[in-house]
Amino acid sequence: MMKRRTTTLLVIAATLATGAAYIANTWAINRSSGGGTMAVNETSVVVATLDIPYGQKVEDQHVKMIKVPKHIVPDGAFNTTEEIIGQVANNDALRGDILRSMRFSTHLQGSTLASLINKNKRAITVRVDDVVGVGGFLLPGNRVDVLATKRVNKKYTTKTVLKDLKVLAVDQTASTNENSPVIVRAVTLEVEPKQAETIVKARNEGTIQLSLRNPNEQVLVKAPKPKKIYRGYIAKKITVIRGTDISTVTR
């Protein structure tokens, strides 16, 4: 009796072991081949393997592919490394970030700086010293205001002529990892065509100064002034015609 029970237990144990091995093998095959429920809910995205500073041209060592759940993939994510290699970063990207197309621009022709300029914008360079350049604290990606000083009737006046301009480059550098002050001789700003004219005019009429903005500060836009309503002329006498009868009504 004991021997028969032992044999039965051994058969059951062997059956369970075989079933467990089969299930584990099937799971491993599905995992490696991209099948299964988990694989169906996953997709490949490109992430940064290194910090990618503003203005940096993306190279092979900057990126890699990983699989992530589909529901966490942000809009504009790259699905292959070939899509992003050679593009230029418009914003800083940190190691491990999922890279998105709106934060990069295509490097077509000319310098890397040209790829950083937004559509319908221009780049203009302002000569600076340690004072105009905010003590060397200006770096690519910062935002500044432009103050113009000129002499009017033997008196000097200063006013802010432009606000919230993006610094594209300092000297010949469009990207930097420096956080300490760097004394430069020129700062390149991104402006609209009319703003470029304003800077040139202010520079010829006097001197200009750059002031560094807090990146979290929002620019307040004044609401447009309401248009004046012009009242039309109101006639005091109105001629009323009813058939052959003509009368005048005074108002």
Convert 25-36 to b/e letters by CB count within 10 Å (16 or more is b).
eeeeeeeeeeee
**Strand, helix or coil at 67?**
strand
- Identify whether the C-beta of residue 102 lies closer than 8 Å to the C-beta of residue 76: yes
Cα 222 to Cα 225: distance, rounded to the nearest angstrom: 9
Over residues 201-214, the pLDDT tens digits come to 999 999 888 888 88
pLDDT band for 130, please (50, 70, 90 cuts). low
Number of CB atoms found within 10 A of residue 40's CB: 10
Tell me: do 64 and 94 sit in the same domain: yes
pLDDT surpasses 60 at 178: no
pLDDT surpasses 80 at 150: yes
Tell me: do 152 and 89 sit in the same domain: no
Tell me: do 59 and 31 sit in the same domain: no
Let me know if residue 246 belongs to a domain.
Answer: no
Tell me: do 32 and 95 sit in the same domain: no
Report the predicted TM-score, pTM, of the whole model to 2 decimal places. Answer: 0.52
Q: Which of 19-33, 92-106, 196-210 has the highest mean pLDDT?
A: 196-210
Cα 22 to Cα 28: distance, rounded to the nearest angstrom: 10
Let me know if residue 230 belongs to a domain.
Answer: no
Tell me: do 47 and 91 sit in the same domain: yes
Q: Which residues, other chains included, contact 96 with Cβ-Cβ below 8 Å and sequence gap of 6+? A: 47, 48
**Strand, helix or coil at 18?**
helix
Tell me: do 140 and 203 sit in the same domain: yes
pLDDT surpasses 80 at 250: no
- Identify whether the C-beta of residue 131 lies closer than 8 Å to the C-beta of residue 185: no
Let me know if residue 233 belongs to a domain.
Answer: no
Cα 211 to Cα 159: distance, rounded to the nearest angstrom: 12
Let me know if residue 93 belongs to a domain.
Answer: yes
pLDDT band for 120, please (50, 70, 90 cuts). confident
Supply the range of the domain harboring residue 28: 2-36
Tell me: do 135 and 199 sit in the same domain: yes
| Total structural domains within the chain | 3
Instruction: Please tell me the predicted confidence (pLDDT) of residue 180.
Output: 59
Instruction: Please tell me the predicted confidence (pLDDT) of residue 152.
Output: 84
Three-state secondary structure readout of 71-133? HHCCCCECCCHHHCCCCEECCCECCCCECEHHHEECCCCCCHHHHHCCCCCEEEEEECCCCCC
Tell me: do 97 and 139 sit in the same domain: no
pLDDT band for 168, please (50, 70, 90 cuts). confident
Tell me: do 145 and 203 sit in the same domain: yes
Given CA atoms 65, 69, 72, 78 in this order, what sign does their dihedral have? positive
For the chain, give the number of residues.
251
Tell me: do 23 and 51 sit in the same domain: no
pLDDT band for 230, please (50, 70, 90 cuts). low
Tell me: do 27 and 50 sit in the same domain: no
Arithmetic mean of pLDDT, 75-88: 90
Number of CB atoms found within 10 A of residue 73's CB: 16
pLDDT band for 235, please (50, 70, 90 cuts). low
Let me know if residue 249 belongs to a domain.
Answer: no
Burial class (CB in 10 A: 0-12, 13-18, 19+), 84: buried
**Residue of 214 and 80 predicted with greater confidence:** 80
